[in-house]
Amino acid sequence: MNLETGARFAGYRVLRMIGQGGMGQVYLVEHPHLGRLEALKLIAVDHGDPQFEERFTREARTAAALKHPGIVTIYHYGIEERTPWFTMDFVDGADLASGQHLTSAEVGVVIARAAEALDYAHHHDVVHRDVKPANIMVTRAEDSTALDRVVLLDFGIARLMSGARLTATSAFIGTFRYAAPEVLEGVSATDRADQYSLASTAFELLTGGRHSPPSTRVRWSRRS
């Protein structure tokens, strides 16, 4: 589903598209009553499964209950025109997959803050399952180039997608580069899997290369 500028969706006024990927689109929208700018995410999935709505509601509630400065705030969610959606805090920054340059010191700060956010989530029995550069947003202070916010995105999306049929087959292409070996072998993700994925992200940011243990990756590629 593509929304035009000025269109209304679930009561929100669409201002512009700000992101698009395998799992759907993200739009900058205006709250119908508060006038607040929010980010609206539409999930590109065919939810023919009758239990999908229940899973979506459960995962959205879980994500919305997380209150931490390093985790994006979820405001509202629902299913409109057979499309699952949720609105979240509009973070005016760039994700770590956008190619922005970070010094080694900045990488250290980013990873430390992301680790704090994950630690908070893990203490609330929530596992992210899809930690990667594209799911870490960074903003910079308006009066300088110093790092300001480091925010984790998409809690619960990976778990939700594991039980649904994607309308875009490329949704998780590339994600396996950061996944823990046991996850690639079919074991359910735990907090340690998140830690592994964050370490893989740090490796890539610091070296410019991609961490890829050969034995597991070969088995994965043979399955594809």
43 membership: H or E segment, kind and range? strand 37-43
Q: Check residue 169 and give its pLDDT.
A: 39
Cα–Cα distance between 84 and 86 in angstroms, integer?
7
The CATH code of the domain at 94-207 is 1.10.510.10
Bridge-partner residues for 94, per DSSP?
Answer: 138
214 membership: H or E segment, kind and range? helix 214-223
Nearby residues of 172 by Cβ (< 8 Å), 6 or more positions away:
22, 130, 158, 161, 166
Mean pLDDT, rounded, of the chain: 85
For the chain, where do the domains classified as CATH 1.10.510.10 start and end? 94-207
Cα–Cα distance between 12 and 184 in angstroms, integer?
39
Rounded to two decimals, the pTM is 0.84
Bridge-partner residues for 76, per DSSP?
Answer: 87
The active-site residue, picked from 89, 95, 130, 154, is 130
Identity of the highest mean pLDDT range in 4-18, 21-35, 49-63, 150-164 = 4-18
- The residue that leads in pLDDT, 75 or 154, is 75
> Quick one: three-class SS letters along 159-173?
HHHCCCEECCCCCCC
Is 194 designated active site? no
- What residue type is 19 in one-letter code? G
For the chain, where do the domains classified as CATH 3.30.200.20 start and end? 7-89
CATH class, range 7-89: alpha beta
Cα–Cα distance between 149 and 141 in angstroms, integer?
8
pLDDT in tens, 158-183: 666 655 444 343 444 347 889 898 88
